[in-house]
Amino acid sequence: MIVVTTEYIPGKRIVEVKGLVQGSTVRAKHIGRDIAASLKNVFGGELKGYTELLVESRREAVERMLAQARELGANAVLNVRFATSSVTQGAAELYAYGTAVVVVDEVPLSGSAPAATTTSDESFNRG
Amino acid sequence: MDDETFTYIEYGVAIGLVVAAGLVGRAIESAHFRRLRRSEAALSTIVLSNLNRLPYNWRAASPVLVAGAAVIATDYFKVFAAGIRSLVGGRVRSYETLLERARRQAIVRMTDEARRLGANVVWNVRFETSTISTGRRGGGVSVLAYGTAMRVI
Protein backbone atom coordinates (compact mmCIF):
# COMPACT_ATOMS: atom_id res chain seq x y z
CA MET A 1 0.00 0.00 0.00
CA ILE A 2 1.41 3.40 -1.03
CA VAL A 3 0.41 6.27 1.27
CA VAL A 4 1.27 9.83 0.21
CA THR A 5 0.22 13.41 0.88
CA THR A 6 0.45 14.33 -2.81
CA GLU A 7 -2.39 14.12 -5.32
CA TYR A 8 -0.46 11.77 -7.56
CA ILE A 9 2.38 9.26 -7.38
CA PRO A 10 5.39 9.89 -9.62
CA GLY A 11 5.66 7.17 -12.23
CA LYS A 12 2.20 5.75 -11.50
CA ARG A 13 -1.14 6.20 -13.17
CA ILE A 14 -4.51 6.19 -11.40
CA VAL A 15 -6.84 3.69 -13.02
CA GLU A 16 -9.63 3.65 -10.47
CA VAL A 17 -10.83 5.93 -7.67
CA LYS A 18 -12.33 3.97 -4.78
CA GLY A 19 -13.36 6.98 -2.72
CA LEU A 20 -12.69 8.66 0.61
CA VAL A 21 -11.23 6.53 3.39
CA GLN A 22 -10.78 7.65 6.97
CA GLY A 23 -9.58 6.52 10.34
CA SER A 24 -9.83 8.19 13.68
CA THR A 25 -8.79 7.52 17.24
CA VAL A 26 -9.59 9.21 20.53
CA ARG A 27 -6.91 8.70 23.14
CA ALA A 28 -6.37 9.75 26.71
CA LYS A 29 -3.15 9.57 28.63
CA HIS A 30 -2.99 7.99 32.04
CA ILE A 31 -2.85 9.98 35.26
CA GLY A 32 0.90 9.50 35.73
CA ARG A 33 1.63 11.29 32.48
CA ASP A 34 -0.71 14.08 33.51
CA ILE A 35 1.09 14.61 36.81
CA ALA A 36 4.46 14.61 35.08
CA ALA A 37 3.10 17.11 32.58
CA SER A 38 1.86 19.50 35.24
CA LEU A 39 5.33 19.45 36.83
CA LYS A 40 6.84 20.16 33.41
CA ASN A 41 4.61 23.17 33.18
CA VAL A 42 6.60 25.00 35.85
CA PHE A 43 9.85 25.13 33.90
CA GLY A 44 8.87 24.21 30.36
CA GLY A 45 10.39 21.62 28.08
CA GLU A 46 9.07 18.84 25.93
CA LEU A 47 6.06 16.84 27.13
CA LYS A 48 7.43 13.46 26.03
CA GLY A 49 4.36 11.51 27.16
CA TYR A 50 2.12 13.63 24.96
CA THR A 51 4.47 13.37 22.01
CA GLU A 52 4.39 9.57 22.32
CA LEU A 53 0.61 9.74 22.57
CA LEU A 54 0.46 11.73 19.34
CA VAL A 55 2.76 9.25 17.60
CA GLU A 56 0.65 6.26 18.75
CA SER A 57 -2.57 8.03 17.75
CA ARG A 58 -1.23 8.81 14.31
CA ARG A 59 -0.17 5.19 13.78
CA GLU A 60 -3.57 3.92 14.86
CA ALA A 61 -5.56 6.43 12.76
CA VAL A 62 -3.48 5.64 9.66
CA GLU A 63 -3.84 1.90 10.29
CA ARG A 64 -7.64 2.24 10.43
CA MET A 65 -7.67 4.32 7.27
CA LEU A 66 -5.53 1.71 5.49
CA ALA A 67 -7.84 -1.10 6.66
CA GLN A 68 -10.70 0.70 4.91
CA ALA A 69 -8.63 1.17 1.79
CA ARG A 70 -7.70 -2.53 1.72
CA GLU A 71 -11.35 -3.47 2.10
CA LEU A 72 -12.16 -1.39 -0.99
CA GLY A 73 -9.42 -3.16 -2.93
CA ALA A 74 -7.22 -0.09 -3.31
CA ASN A 75 -3.43 -0.23 -3.52
CA ALA A 76 -2.71 3.41 -2.67
CA VAL A 77 -4.10 6.30 -0.61
CA LEU A 78 -3.49 9.78 -1.99
CA ASN A 79 -3.69 13.30 -0.53
CA VAL A 80 -3.63 12.11 3.09
CA ARG A 81 -4.47 14.80 5.68
CA PHE A 82 -4.57 14.83 9.47
CA ALA A 83 -6.90 16.80 11.70
CA THR A 84 -6.98 16.99 15.47
CA SER A 85 -9.67 18.02 17.90
CA SER A 86 -9.83 17.92 21.66
CA VAL A 87 -12.88 16.24 23.07
CA THR A 88 -12.39 17.05 26.73
CA GLN A 89 -9.37 17.91 28.82
CA GLY A 90 -7.11 14.89 28.75
CA ALA A 91 -8.50 13.29 25.61
CA ALA A 92 -7.75 14.16 22.02
CA GLU A 93 -8.94 12.94 18.67
CA LEU A 94 -6.70 12.40 15.68
CA TYR A 95 -8.40 11.96 12.36
CA ALA A 96 -6.69 10.79 9.17
CA TYR A 97 -8.32 10.85 5.74
CA GLY A 98 -7.40 10.39 2.13
CA THR A 99 -8.55 9.07 -1.22
CA ALA A 100 -8.20 5.35 -1.94
CA VAL A 101 -7.21 4.58 -5.52
CA VAL A 102 -5.86 1.81 -7.68
CA VAL A 103 -2.62 2.73 -9.44
CA VAL A 104 -0.56 0.97 -12.08
CA ASP A 105 2.99 1.56 -13.30
CA GLU A 106 3.39 4.20 -15.96
CA VAL A 107 4.58 2.97 -19.35
CA PRO A 108 8.41 3.21 -19.12
CA LEU A 109 10.15 6.03 -20.97
CA SER A 110 12.50 3.66 -22.76
CA GLY A 111 9.65 2.29 -24.91
CA SER A 112 10.30 2.63 -28.63
CA ALA A 113 6.77 3.75 -29.45
CA PRO A 114 6.47 7.55 -29.38
CA ALA A 115 3.03 7.23 -27.74
CA ALA A 116 4.60 5.77 -24.57
CA THR A 117 6.85 8.82 -24.10
CA THR A 118 3.90 11.16 -24.43
CA THR A 119 1.91 9.31 -21.77
CA SER A 120 4.80 9.40 -19.33
CA ASP A 121 5.41 13.11 -19.78
CA GLU A 122 1.76 13.94 -19.52
CA SER A 123 1.45 12.18 -16.20
CA PHE A 124 3.53 14.92 -14.56
CA ASN A 125 1.14 17.59 -15.71
CA ARG A 126 -2.05 15.73 -15.26
CA GLY A 127 -1.43 13.05 -12.64
CA MET B 1 2.19 35.94 62.09
CA ASP B 2 -0.62 38.21 61.00
CA ASP B 3 -2.54 38.12 57.73
CA GLU B 4 -0.35 40.74 56.13
CA THR B 5 2.81 38.70 56.60
CA PHE B 6 1.07 35.70 55.06
CA THR B 7 0.11 37.74 52.01
CA TYR B 8 3.72 38.88 51.60
CA ILE B 9 4.95 35.28 51.82
CA GLU B 10 2.37 34.18 49.27
CA TYR B 11 3.42 36.91 46.85
CA GLY B 12 7.05 36.17 47.53
CA VAL B 13 6.61 32.48 46.69
CA ALA B 14 4.64 33.29 43.53
CA ILE B 15 7.19 35.83 42.29
CA GLY B 16 10.07 33.52 43.20
CA LEU B 17 8.50 30.70 41.21
CA VAL B 18 7.97 32.92 38.17
CA VAL B 19 11.57 34.17 38.30
CA ALA B 20 12.96 30.64 38.77
CA ALA B 21 10.75 29.34 35.95
CA GLY B 22 11.95 32.21 33.77
CA LEU B 23 15.62 31.39 34.36
CA VAL B 24 15.34 27.60 34.06
CA GLY B 25 12.84 27.91 31.19
CA ARG B 26 15.18 30.17 29.27
CA ALA B 27 18.06 27.72 29.74
CA ILE B 28 15.90 24.83 28.53
CA GLU B 29 14.76 26.90 25.57
CA SER B 30 18.22 27.93 24.39
CA ALA B 31 19.47 24.34 24.82
CA HIS B 32 16.55 23.21 22.68
CA PHE B 33 17.34 25.79 19.99
CA ARG B 34 20.98 24.61 19.96
CA ARG B 35 19.86 20.99 19.52
CA LEU B 36 17.49 22.07 16.75
CA ARG B 37 20.20 23.95 14.86
CA ARG B 38 22.49 20.90 15.08
CA SER B 39 19.88 18.45 13.81
CA GLU B 40 18.73 20.86 11.10
CA ALA B 41 22.29 21.21 9.87
CA ALA B 42 22.67 17.42 9.77
CA LEU B 43 19.46 17.05 7.76
CA SER B 44 19.98 20.02 5.45
CA THR B 45 20.60 17.81 2.39
CA ILE B 46 16.94 16.77 2.36
CA VAL B 47 14.72 19.17 0.43
CA LEU B 48 11.37 20.02 1.99
CA SER B 49 8.51 21.52 0.05
CA ASN B 50 4.79 22.02 0.36
CA LEU B 51 4.29 21.77 -3.41
CA ASN B 52 1.98 19.02 -4.52
CA ARG B 53 3.77 18.21 -7.80
CA LEU B 54 7.39 17.53 -8.53
CA PRO B 55 9.05 19.77 -11.13
CA TYR B 56 8.25 18.58 -14.64
CA ASN B 57 11.53 16.80 -15.41
CA TRP B 58 12.13 15.13 -12.02
CA ARG B 59 11.72 11.41 -11.60
CA ALA B 60 11.07 10.00 -8.13
CA ALA B 61 10.79 6.56 -6.57
CA SER B 62 9.25 4.89 -3.51
CA PRO B 63 6.98 7.56 -1.99
CA VAL B 64 6.18 7.00 1.70
CA LEU B 65 4.17 8.97 4.25
CA VAL B 66 6.44 10.33 6.97
CA ALA B 67 5.48 12.32 10.06
CA GLY B 68 7.01 13.90 13.13
CA ALA B 69 5.33 15.00 16.34
CA ALA B 70 6.37 17.33 19.14
CA VAL B 71 4.56 18.61 22.21
CA ILE B 72 6.25 21.48 24.03
CA ALA B 73 5.08 22.74 27.41
CA THR B 74 4.67 26.32 28.51
CA ASP B 75 6.34 27.42 31.73
CA TYR B 76 5.15 29.72 34.52
CA PHE B 77 7.19 32.60 33.20
CA LYS B 78 5.74 32.33 29.69
CA VAL B 79 2.19 32.22 31.06
CA PHE B 80 2.97 35.21 33.31
CA ALA B 81 4.60 37.19 30.48
CA ALA B 82 1.68 36.45 28.16
CA GLY B 83 -0.75 37.51 30.87
CA ILE B 84 1.02 40.87 31.20
CA ARG B 85 1.18 41.22 27.42
CA SER B 86 -2.52 40.59 27.02
CA LEU B 87 -3.19 43.72 29.10
CA VAL B 88 -1.61 45.99 26.50
CA GLY B 89 -1.73 43.81 23.38
CA GLY B 90 1.01 43.22 20.82
CA ARG B 91 3.48 40.45 20.07
CA VAL B 92 3.51 37.63 22.60
CA ARG B 93 7.14 36.69 22.07
CA SER B 94 7.16 34.00 24.77
CA TYR B 95 4.53 32.00 22.86
CA GLU B 96 6.10 32.68 19.46
CA THR B 97 9.27 30.85 20.48
CA LEU B 98 7.18 28.03 21.96
CA LEU B 99 5.40 27.44 18.64
CA GLU B 100 8.66 27.81 16.73
CA ARG B 101 10.32 25.12 18.87
CA ALA B 102 7.40 22.72 18.43
CA ARG B 103 7.25 23.23 14.63
CA ARG B 104 10.99 22.92 14.10
CA GLN B 105 11.20 19.83 16.33
CA ALA B 106 8.33 18.19 14.42
CA ILE B 107 10.03 19.01 11.08
CA VAL B 108 13.33 17.56 12.34
CA ARG B 109 11.64 14.30 13.37
CA MET B 110 9.77 14.01 10.10
CA THR B 111 12.91 14.72 8.06
CA ASP B 112 14.90 12.24 10.12
CA GLU B 113 12.34 9.54 9.33
CA ALA B 114 12.73 10.41 5.64
CA ARG B 115 16.53 10.17 5.93
CA ARG B 116 16.28 6.73 7.57
CA LEU B 117 14.15 5.58 4.63
CA GLY B 118 16.81 6.78 2.20
CA ALA B 119 14.74 9.64 0.77
CA ASN B 120 16.18 12.95 -0.39
CA VAL B 121 13.00 15.03 -0.61
CA VAL B 122 9.88 15.42 1.51
CA TRP B 123 7.10 16.75 -0.67
CA ASN B 124 3.74 18.36 0.15
CA VAL B 125 4.57 18.97 3.82
CA ARG B 126 1.59 19.92 6.00
CA PHE B 127 1.21 20.95 9.63
CA GLU B 128 -1.46 20.22 12.15
CA THR B 129 -1.22 22.32 15.30
CA SER B 130 -3.30 22.13 18.45
CA THR B 131 -3.06 23.15 22.06
CA ILE B 132 -2.98 20.77 24.98
CA SER B 133 -4.23 21.66 28.41
CA THR B 134 -2.85 19.82 31.40
CA GLY B 135 -4.74 21.54 34.16
CA ARG B 136 -5.62 24.91 35.58
CA ARG B 137 -2.80 27.03 34.15
CA GLY B 138 -0.62 24.52 32.35
CA GLY B 139 -0.59 23.52 28.77
CA GLY B 140 1.46 23.21 25.67
CA VAL B 141 1.36 23.16 21.91
CA SER B 142 1.39 19.98 19.89
CA VAL B 143 2.50 19.99 16.28
CA LEU B 144 2.28 17.18 13.77
CA ALA B 145 4.31 17.68 10.59
CA TYR B 146 3.77 15.25 7.75
CA GLY B 147 4.66 14.84 4.12
CA THR B 148 5.64 12.44 1.37
CA ALA B 149 9.25 11.23 1.45
CA MET B 150 10.67 10.26 -1.95
CA ARG B 151 13.96 9.48 -3.59
CA VAL B 152 14.45 11.82 -6.55
CA ILE B 153 16.73 10.42 -9.23
Q: Which of A99, A27, A103, A104 is nearest to A68 (CA)?
A: A99
* Residues A82, B150: C-beta atoms closer than 8 Å: no
Kindly indicate the confidence band of residue A118, based on its pLDDT and cuts at 50, 70 and 90: very low
List Cβ neighbours of B143 (8 Å cut-off, separation of 6 or more).
B69, B70, B71, B99, B102, B103, B105, B106, B127, B128, B129
Kindly indicate the confidence band of residue A32, based on its pLDDT and cuts at 50, 70 and 90: low
Report if pTM > 0.90: no
- Which residue among B133, B140, B144 sits closest to A89, beta carbon to beta carbon? B133
CB A65 within 8 A of CB A98: yes
In angstroms, the separation between the Cα of residue B130 and the nearest Cα of chain A is 7
* Residues B138, A38: C-beta atoms closer than 8 Å: yes
- The domain segmentation of chain A, as residue ranges, is 2-126
What's the Cα-to-Cα distance from A125 to each of B19, B79, B103, rounded to whole Å?
57, 49, 31
Total tally of structural domains belonging to chain B = 1
* Residues B146, A9: C-beta atoms closer than 8 Å: no
Of A18-22, B8-12, B30-34, B61-65, give the lowest mean pLDDT range. Answer: B8-12
Searching chain B, which residue's CA lies closest to the CA of residue A56? Answer: B69
Searching chain A, which residue's CA lies closest to the CA of residue B74? Answer: A44
ipTM above 0.90, yes or no: no
CATH number listed for the domain at residues A2-126: 3.30.110.70
* Residues A37, B53: C-beta atoms closer than 8 Å: no
Domain ranges, residue B108:
3-152
B90 touches chain A (CB under 8 A): no
Residues of A whose CB is below 8 A from B20: 43
* Residues B132, A86: C-beta atoms closer than 8 Å: yes
List Cβ neighbours of A124 (8 Å cut-off, separation of 6 or more).
A10, B53, B54, B56
CA angle B73, B78, B82 (to 5 degrees): 125
Residue A91, Cβ neighbours under 10 Å: how many?
11
pLDDT tens-digit series, residues A54-90:
899 999 999 999 999 999 999 999 999 999 887 776 6
CATH code for the domain in which residue B107 is found:
3.30.110.70
